[in-house]
């Protein structure tokens, strides 16, 4: 589980620490953000104290209307021992009672000049990315015409060699050998390379090569959404392979099902070209053009015409 601390928010966003400096190393354990509106009224029965607390214009306006002794009590209730941080948006002036109570409890208060909705959006995206489910898969990830293609298959089948040929044809390498995948949202998989082997390709007989050094910065990218999986396997004479493309197979990675194509490998087949065409065909299908279905419809139409003549 990745760790996110209040200090990370300071490092990555336009936020200013105004109180609770002793607590900047407090950890956030969830991507959920809470606006303590009902808590300002005194109802703390379901207070999610482990979440980032964000005070906007509405919450602040209500707080300022409270009696002085009630303000102090509310802040003491908000600033628990596990509350990671309180963010105050819109560049609003912060009452002294908030600053004093937060300093005493060691709860950081961060000040943002941005609007509340924009602060929530940016912080949520950042935290969702950090806390997204994570896995790693043996394979190669390549960006082909904007389509993130994950090449899988047993070791030595030719994944890295195909990726090298694709890079030579103008496409971009994301990761070789090990692909780190995180699930963002419910249907989005983002793949990247482990830092140790970023931009590197292992070619048997040649060794490790640095793709960015050889082909330039335009030949690599740091991460890419995985849209298509192409599984490379050695040709099996006894196996019946799909020759029309009507059947759609899928592979489940975490909670997401990704379209999958199996390509048999044997001498004489230009894998790089086949993979490239598979990516282009996938793009066409997303645009509503399906060659296999068009052929099937033509065939059905000709059969129907033949039956009518008979």
Widest pairwise Cα distance in the chain: 95
C-alpha dihedral sign at 213, 214, 216, 219? negative
Selecting among 72, 90, 114, 177, the annotated active-site residue is 177
Tell me whether residue 157 is annotated as binding: yes
Other beta carbons within 10 Å of 299: 11
Active site residue 96: no
Whether residue 56 is annotated as binding a ligand: the answer is no
Whether residue 283 lies in the annotated active site = no
The answer to the question of whether 305 is labelled as a binding residue is no
Q: Active-site residue 11, yes or no? A: no
Q: Give me the catalytic one of 45, 238, 239, 243.
A: 243
Q: Which DSSP helix (H) or strand (E) runs through 178?
A: strand 178-184
DSSP state letters, 263-292:
EEE-TT--HHHHHHHHHHHHHHHHTT--HH
Residue 153 marked as a ligand binder: yes
Contact of 107 with 77, CB cutoff 8 Å: no
Catalytic residue among 3, 57, 118, 138: 138
57 is catalytic: no
Count of alpha carbons within 13 Å of 35, Cβ hemisphere only? 15
User: In this structure, what are the phi and psi dihedrals at residue 270, rounded to the nearest 5 degrees?
Assistant: -85, 95
Q: Is 158 annotated as a binding residue?
A: yes
148 carries a ligand binding annotation: no
The rounded distance, in Å, linking the Cα atoms of 244 and 206 is: 37
285 is in an annotated binding site: no
* Rounded Cα gap, residues 204 and 202, in angstroms: 6
* Residue 146 assigned to a binding site: no
Find all residues with CB under 8 Å of 237, minimum gap 6, and list them: none
* Residue 154 annotated as part of some ligand binding site: yes
**Active site residue ranges:** 138, 159, 177, 243
Residues contributing to the annotated binding site:
153-160, 202
Residues contributing to the annotated binding site for ATP:
153-160
Residues contributing to the annotated binding site for Mg(2+):
160, 202
């Amino acid at each position: 589980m990745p760790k996110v601390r209040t200090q990370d928010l300071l490092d990555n966003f336009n936020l200013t620490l105004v109180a609770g400096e002793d607590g900047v190393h407090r950890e956030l354990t969830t991507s959920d953000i809470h606006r303590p509106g009902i808590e300002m009224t005194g109802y703390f029965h379901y207070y999610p104290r482990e979440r980032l607390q964000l005070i906007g214009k509405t919450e602040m306006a209500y707080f300022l209307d409270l009696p002085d002794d009630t303000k102090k009590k509310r802040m003491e209730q908000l600033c628990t021992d596990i509350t990671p941080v309180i963010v105050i948006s819109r560049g609003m002036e912060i009452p002294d009672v908030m600053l004093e109570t937060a300093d005493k409890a060691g709860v950081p208060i961060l000040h943002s000049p941005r609007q509340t909705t924009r602060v929530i959006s940016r912080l949520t995206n950042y935290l969702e990315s950090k806390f997204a489910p994570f896995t790693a898969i043996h394979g190669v990830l390549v960006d082909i015409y904007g389509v993130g293609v994950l090449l899988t298959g047993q070791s030595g089948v030719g994944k890295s060699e195909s990726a090298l040929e694709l890079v030579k044809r103008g496409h971009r390498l994301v990761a070789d050998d090990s692909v780190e995948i995180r699930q963002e949202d419910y249907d989005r998989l983002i793949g990247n390379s482990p830092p140790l082997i970023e931009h590197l390709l292992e070619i048997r007989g040649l060794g490790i090569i640095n793709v960015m050094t050889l082909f330039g910065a335009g030949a690599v990218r740091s991460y890419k959404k995985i849209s298509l999986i192409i599984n490379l396997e050695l040709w099996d004479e006894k196996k019946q392979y799909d020759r029309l493309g009507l059947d759609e197979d899928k592979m489940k990675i975490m909670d997401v099902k990704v379209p999958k194509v199996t390509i048999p490998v044997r001498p004489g087949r230009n894998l790089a070209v086949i993979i490239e065409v598979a990516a282009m065909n996938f793009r066409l299908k997303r645009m509503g053009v399906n060659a296999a279905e068009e052929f099937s419809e033509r065939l059905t139409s000709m059969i129907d015409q033949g039956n009518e003549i008979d």
